[in-house]
Amino acid sequence: MAKISNEELLQKLVSKFDDKITQLGDPYDLLTIETDREEIISVLSYLKTDLDFIHLTDITAIHYPELEKPFGVIYHVHNLAGGIRIRVKVFLAAADVHIPTATEIWNGANWMERETYDFFGIIFDGHPDLRRILNVDDMTVFPMRKEYPLEDPNRIDKKDYFFGR
Amino acid sequence: MSDIQIVEAPPGVEGSGFFATSLDKAVGLARSYSLWPLPFATSCCGIEFMATMASHYDLSRFGAERLSFSPRQADLLMVMGTIAKKMAPVLRQVYLQMAEPRWVMAVGACASSGGIFDTYSVLQGIDEIIPVDVYVPGCPPRPEAIIDGFINIQKLVQTESGRRREDPKYQELLAKYGIL
Amino acid sequence: MQNHLLLTDNDPQSELSTLNLGPTHPATHGVFQNVLELDGERIVSGVSTIGYIHRAFEKIAEHRPFYQITPLTDRLNYCSSPINNMGWHMTVEKLLKIEMPKRVDYMRVIIMELARITDHIVCNGVLGVDTGAFTGFLYMMQFREHVYEIYEEICGSRLTTNIGRIGGFERNFNTIAFDKIRKFLKEFPPVLREFEALFNRNRIFIDRTRDVAAVTAETALSYSWSGPILRAAGVDYDVRAQEPYSSYQDFDFEVPVGTNGDVYNRFLVRNEEMWQSLRMIEQALEKIEKEDSSIFHAAVPEFYLPPKEDVYNNMEALIYHFKIVMGEIDTPTTEVYHAVEGANGELGFYLVNDGGRSPYRLHFRRPSFVNYQMYAPMSRGMVLSDAIINMSSLNVIAGELDA
């Protein structure tokens, strides 16, 4: 498959999904689009089956506490033959962090989604085994959210009185 | 003259045809040159330990040829690498399974103090859960430093009482960690 | 965890035994836990548990200025730290649109390919140990030490190198470093040839590795594999060839590809990659000769930390030093994804920047993490000893797995 440009790619996506897709720009030649969670699975499967984006590079999330929809789920998908990547984003409201799973399309999405759940608490509906993966099982918080501190709040060895303050 | 060096005899009373020393010293000498380390290698320091054990640095020269992966038969627990909170119970269990006399070496900054990982998920030094005899600094320590730490363990083994477990100070230390 | 197994422990029908392998099992070379259900020697099902050295890299990265993130990347895949370091530097350089001089690119290629060699030495050496041949490991480890000596000459440390800076290297390679690299290029090939002679056509080794854990290209791709294990399955995806960074397009090299993705193929692919790396280092040395030998960083004083003596003696350098350290440099508010070919596969850095002192969000696409998730599913039907060899040949590095 010949290399297609970002414009052609966007054209194809827009003609298929119409206003369900918003372009967010193409920083450093990587086309970035936004869609919503109703469409995300059909966008991803369209990318995989019709446009040859066979390699799921990564799934991750981001937290913008001040936005109306603070949680972004970010997919990086790669067309190996054409040598082109695309970034797909879906933003979710804080009260309703559900999004359908991509494990139906790629087996590799399994752990990536578990990691995203572990760090941000995004719930992937239909995931076969959505448990914490890196953190301890009895953890109650989602540590990558901005409101949680880096350091362990329970530690005492940094208290001022150890340093004569 | 052969250039083979052998271990110095412990201090004792010498005379023609006899040599007398205390049992503690003889036992300490024997123990120190046949320590069986249990490598509890989790991360980067484990790779340096690999180098320490391999051909170039060769820890076997110090009597630690035989790695014991079973805690039951090990004398020295070498903790190398970051111990996350998820790993902490495992480490403690491994320590509890070891038979006395046992020694612990914290290799590298993470095992000693948490190192650069001052985070919610990392144990800030293994001495929060088990007693430690020797700390080796470095991130990771060079193989020379690990060998130096090992020699320090050997010195401890040689100078300590042969039955450390009966020492009230040692018992007090273990009690502090809730180990009896 | 029990409900993921087929039969529970107290089921009277169960003739299966449950085996807990890890997290500190000597056969696993790292902290991996697998609860396996066995029918005799054969694995019926398995569950992997990871996270035993989760160190919260991504959270730390949100609290560190850009140049202080390099030491974190060291500790991802600590068998080949320089690739991670430079991958991160190149990500920031891409963000800041810094044009790198060719000489720096070639210097980076030398270091990255040396790192790839050390990583493959460990992986293939350990694979030899697991199949019963200790000699190859001990012999090859000697040469890993030689590479570490080269690192020491360049940056002063062995394993966690923190090599280079954003914008280039912190100092030029000295003549001893070049001598050591040339010496390595001369001495290593005969050893690698001997290593191959020991294994490649060794009946025992072939019997124990061929057709073990064979993976089709489709399965490998659906599990998002990358790196040598994907290439062993027959997919010629190599970031160096497809999206050349650091002037890889100037080099003449081949991407070795296997046929059926079994352990033997992975072994051969890694060996061949070492030969290709040696070839690239040779070419890089030739190319460096033609460049101005005084260049070792890009001319970007606003991003590249000035040398310490200039900070003390030169007003401008002091200002830049202060601005860089205090994070008062203007950086674009945007996002960037940069991938490099790590020793285990595509190592990606997804950086979201808000113009502040540290990244707003930094995500590492860690090949070990992505590759390892297929371990439990693919172990089904294997005998236990094959599963152990399979794990060695996946070359999963715990630091990279758990972030």
C55 reaches B (C-beta below 8 A)? yes
**Residue A117 to residue A60: CA distance in whole angstroms:** 9
Query: Nearest chain A Cα to B117, which residue?
Result: A151
Query: Nearest chain A Cα to B119, which residue?
Result: A151
Asked if pLDDT for residue C244 goes beyond 60, the answer is: yes
Tell me the helix, strand and coil percentages in chain C, rounded to 5.
50, 10, 35
Contact B87 C53 (CB under 8 A): yes
Contact C332, C93 (CB under 8 A): no
- So what's the pLDDT on residue C287? 93
Tokens representing B136? 């080796």
Tokens representing B169? 């100070």
Using CB atoms, pick whichever of A55, A119, A150 lies closest to residue C221.
A55
Asked if pLDDT for residue A82 goes beyond 90, the answer is: no
In 10 A of CB B151, how many CB atoms? 13
- So what's the pLDDT on residue C206? 93
Q: Determine whether B174 is exposed, middle or buried from the number of CB atoms within 10 Å of its CB (0-12, 13-18, 19+).
A: middle
Using CB atoms, pick whichever of B56, B82, B142 lies closest to residue C53.
B82
Taking the domains of chain B in order of start, what are their residue ranges? Answer: 37-176
- So what's the pLDDT on residue C1? 37
Nearest to C238 by CA among C282, C200, C192, C276: C276
Nearest to C79 by CA among C153, C144, C33: C144
Residues 6+ apart with CB under 8 A from C324: C67, C302, C303, C305
Taking the domains of chain A in order of start, what are their residue ranges? Answer: 6-147
* pLDDT averaged over every residue in chain B: 88
Which residue, chain included where needed, has tokens 């959505």?
A130
C156 reaches B (C-beta below 8 A)? no
Contact C242 A80 (CB under 8 A): yes
Bin A3: left if φ > 0, else alpha if -120 < ψ < 50, else beta.
beta
Is B37-176 assigned to CATH 3.40.50.720? no
Give CA separation, C402 vs A113, B121, C39, C54, C370, in Å: 15, 11, 30, 5, 11
In 10 A of CB C296, how many CB atoms? 19
Tokens representing B4? 């083979």
Model confidence pLDDT, tens digit, residues C287-301 = 999 988 888 999 888
C337 reaches A (C-beta below 8 A)? yes
Tokens representing C58? 């991504």
What mean pLDDT is predicted for residues C214-229?
92
For residue C11, tell me if it sits in a domain: no
3-state secondary structure of C352: strand
For residue C200, tell me if it sits in a domain: yes
- So what's the pLDDT on residue B8? 79
Task: Provide the pairing of β-strand C361-365 with C345-352.
Answer: antiparallel
- Side-chain-side CA neighbours of B62 within 13 Å: the count stands at 21
CATH number, residue C99: 1.10.645.10
What mean pLDDT is predicted for residues C215-220?
92
Q: C2 or A122, which is more confident?
A: A122
Model confidence pLDDT, tens digit, residues A5-30 = 888 889 888 888 888 888 888 888 89
Which residue, chain included where needed, has tokens 């590795």?
C209
For residue C5, tell me if it sits in a domain: no
Q: How far is B84 from chain A (nearest CA, A)?
A: 9
Model confidence pLDDT, tens digit, residues B103-113 = 999 999 999 98
Using CB atoms, pick whichever of B86, B118, B120 lies closest to residue A143.
B120
Strands (E) located in C42-86 = 42-49
- So what's the pLDDT on residue C8? 56
**Residue C283 to residue C277: CA distance in whole angstroms:** 10
Q: C338 or C15, which is more confident?
A: C338
Contact C224 A108 (CB under 8 A): yes
Q: What confidence category does residue C12 fall into, taking pLDDT thresholds of 50, 70 and 90? A: low
Split into its structural domains, chain C has a count of 1
Q: B89 to chain C: which residues are within 8 Å by CB?
A: none
Q: DSSP assignment, residue C97?
A: T
Q: How far is C93 from chain A (nearest CA, A)?
A: 12
Tokens representing C1? 């965890």
What mean pLDDT is predicted for residues C340-344?
92
Q: What confidence category does residue C10 fall into, taking pLDDT thresholds of 50, 70 and 90? A: low
Model confidence pLDDT, tens digit, residues A33-81 = 999 989 999 999 999 998 889 999 999 999 999 999 999 999 999 998 8
Is A6-147 assigned to CATH 3.30.460.80? yes
Asked if pLDDT for residue C2 goes beyond 60, the answer is: no
Q: Which chains touch A (3 or more CB pairs under 8 A)?
A: B, C
For residue C203, tell me if it sits in a domain: yes
Hey, of B38, B45, B50, B118, which one would you mutate to test binding to chain C, going by the most C CBs within 10 A of its CB?
B50
**Residue C227 to residue C351: CA distance in whole angstroms:** 22
For residue C179, tell me if it sits in a domain: yes
Backbone angles phi, psi at B153, to 5 degrees: -60, -45
Q: B139 to chain C: which residues are within 8 Å by CB?
A: 160
**Residue A103 to residue C224: CA distance in whole angstroms:** 12
Q: What confidence category does residue C149 fall into, taking pLDDT thresholds of 50, 70 and 90? A: very high
- So what's the pLDDT on residue B1? 66
The secondary structure element, H or E, covering residue A24 is strand A22-25
Using CB atoms, pick whichever of A30, A80, A108 lies closest to residue C222.
A108
Q: Which of C2-11, C92-101, C295-304 has the lowest mean pLDDT?
A: C2-11
Give CA separation, C126 vs B171, C391, C392, in Å: 41, 11, 7
C314 reaches A (C-beta below 8 A)? no
**Residue A62 to residue A91: CA distance in whole angstroms:** 9
- Side-chain-side CA neighbours of B149 within 13 Å: the count stands at 28
Contact B120 C141 (CB under 8 A): no
Nearest to B45 by CA among B69, B95, B79: B79
Contact A135 B118 (CB under 8 A): no
Which residue, chain included where needed, has tokens 């040696």?
C278
Contact C399, C53 (CB under 8 A): yes
Q: What confidence category does residue C181 fall into, taking pLDDT thresholds of 50, 70 and 90? A: very high
Query: Which residues of A sit within 8 Å Cβ distance of C?
Result: 27-28, 30, 32, 54-58, 60, 62-63, 74, 76, 80, 83, 85, 87, 106-112, 115, 119, 129, 132-136, 143-144, 150
Q: C224 to chain A: which residues are within 8 Å by CB?
A: 55-57, 106, 108-109, 112
Using CB atoms, pick whichever of A57, A85, A136 lies closest to residue C224.
A57
The secondary structure element, H or E, covering residue C239 is helix C239-242
The secondary structure element, H or E, covering residue B134 is strand B134-136
What b/e readout covers C109-118, taking b as 16+ CB neighbours within 10 angstroms? bbbbbbbbbb
- So what's the pLDDT on residue A56? 93
What mean pLDDT is predicted for residues C93-120?
93
Asked if pLDDT for residue A136 goes beyond 60, the answer is: yes
**Residue C241's domain spans which residues?**
57-402
Asked if pLDDT for residue B12 goes beyond 70, the answer is: yes
Instruction: Give the percent of chain C with pLDDT over 70.
Output: 97
- So what's the pLDDT on residue C109? 94
Asked if pLDDT for residue C28 goes beyond 90, the answer is: no
Asked if pLDDT for residue C78 goes beyond 50, the answer is: yes
Asked if pLDDT for residue C141 goes beyond 80, the answer is: yes
